[in-house]
Amino acid sequence: MSSPEAMATALVVPTTRDVLTIEGPDAEKYLQGQLSQDISSIGVGESRFSFVLAPQGKVDGWGRVHRISAQHFEIDVDPGAGDVWQTRLSRFLLRTDAHIGLETNVATLAVRRANVGNGLPLAPPWLSGSDLLRVSDPSEANLAVPFEVGSIADLEAVRICSGTPAWGKELTTDTIPAAVGQWVIDASVSFTKGCYTGQELVARIDSRGGNVPQRLVGVVVEGPAPLAGSAVSIGTDDVGTLTSSTNINPDLSVALAYLARSVELGEEPLPAAAGSSSCTIRMLPLTSECC
């Protein structure tokens, strides 16, 4: 468990992202019709998150869109998700004057618990920090506060505690966007931009109050982290499935899970089991007491 002193220190972790480039006279028009975000309203130098959806409305990807110039965009996505994005965006590119490129394993410096003026913003409104693309040396972060260089495991703990979904874990081609959380919808979807691929399901669920069969929650586990895929149970009933987990210390771990709609979850932690370990189910984000 992190101490208050550790929480006051910025965390800097060298990692990677996949980066797609979309360039050409039709780049804006094409992305406006393919992504859930209002691409036309993004100014040069600005960044926003967006889904790219299958025609049926389920998730094909989630990433951060940056406008480099009027006809030049970059989208940075989770490592390994770039190929999926490139395939999906290329599918409807016929008679479109735009080129889609992909650069994988792009060096990125993830800064958490401190803001960097020239960094790319994070999605969760409660998580301070930013990402510096094409930067690998922590000394280049130019932080005005003390920092520690952490590991990928440290970064994963922050991701899980903040409830940030990851491709291949919380996000797959079976995921309904609203299941990830209303804050992700707020950060990634425009309901005024007009038509885009997959819009119907997103709009229909929103009009019904965001009611989905399952939703993403936090789990605090007593002991080592159970494997992703482990059942979350209350009594004899399986009510959810872990999607990600990581150790905080030998006696405590945290996880994300999709929880069935039938389970009522309030502000108080809900006792449960994750695999064979005792746990509590909690609303996201998990507090600093956990991470």
Q: What is the CATH number of the domain that holds 70?
A: 3.30.1360.120
Q: Residues 246, 145: one domain?
A: no
- pLDDT for the residue numbered 289: 59
- End-to-end Cα spacing for the chain: 6
**In the prediction, which pLDDT does 116 show?**
82
Per the domain annotation, does 195 fall within a domain? no
pLDDT at 1: 41
pLDDT (0 to 100) of residue 4: 46
Q: Do 219 and 158 belong together in one domain?
A: no
Q: Burial level of 96, CB count in 10 A (0-12/13-18/19+)?
A: middle
Which of 162, 189, 224 represents a domain boundary (last residue)? Answer: 162
Q: Number of folded domains in the chain?
A: 2
* Domain assignment present for 18: yes
Burial letters 216-240, b for 16+ CB under 10 A, else e? bbbbbbebebbebebbbebeeeebb
- Regarding whether 130 and 265 lie in a shared domain, the answer is no
Query: Does residue 223 share a domain with residue 134?
Result: no
Could you give the CA distance from residue 242 to residue 124 in angstroms, rounded to a whole number?
20
pTM for this predicted structure: 0.94
In a domain, 242, yes or no: yes
Can you give the pLDDT at residue 288?
66
What span, in angstroms and rounded, lies between the C-alpha atoms of 47 and 68?
Answer: 9
Tell me whether residue 184 is in a domain: no
Structural domain for 250, as ranges: 214-282
Please identify every stretch of the chain with a pLDDT value under 50, giving residue numbers as ranges. 1-5
pLDDT of residue 142: 84
Alpha-helix runs per DSSP H in the chain:
4-7, 27-34, 82-90, 152-162, 182-188, 199-207
Domain membership of residue 236 (yes or no) is yes
* Whether residue 232 is found in the same domain as residue 107: no
